[in-house]
Amino acid sequence: MDKKLAALAEELEAALVIDDTLSERVLDTIEHLAHKKLAKSDLESTDIILDLIHSEKPGWNISIRGNASKPNGHWRCSLRKSSIRDNDEYLGIARGPTLPHALLSCWLKSCSFEAG
């Protein structure tokens, strides 16, 4: 497991707002891992984060549960290779105050297992 990626995912999970410092680190990580250049505003877009997951983990299963409220919606996500097995080798489980935060944290956690 890549502990640096896992720590970044956990920091993102805990953030109500992605400040400039955190966004810079997240955007640099996305560019390094996925070779995609995103803008800070893209980190708040569910569609853009889903597109990132789709391009990097095609066919993976995404489970989403949450409460659509602001400022803290209590979203929970999981990302796994298959919905059939419970013991996927690479698995991302995350939560966050917004759906994009939770999804992005999930993706980062799954990457941390692959990188380690």
**CATH code of the domain in which 79 resides:** 3.30.2120
Q: How does pLDDT run across 52-66, given as a tens digit for each residue?
A: 999 999 999 999 998
77 three-class SS: strand
Q: Does this model's pTM top 0.85? A: yes
Confidence bin at 34 (pLDDT 50/70/90): very high
* Mean pLDDT lowest among 27-41, 52-66, 90-104: 90-104
Which tokens sit at 94? 């995350």
- Count of structural domains, the chain: 1
| Centroid of chain to Cα 94 | 7
Q: Which residue has the tokens 């995103």?
A: 38
Q: What is the mean predicted confidence (pLDDT) over 70-90?
A: 75
Q: Which domain holds residue 57?
A: 3-115
Residue 85 has pLDDT above 70, yes or no: no
- Residue 64 is inside which H or E element, if any? strand 61-65
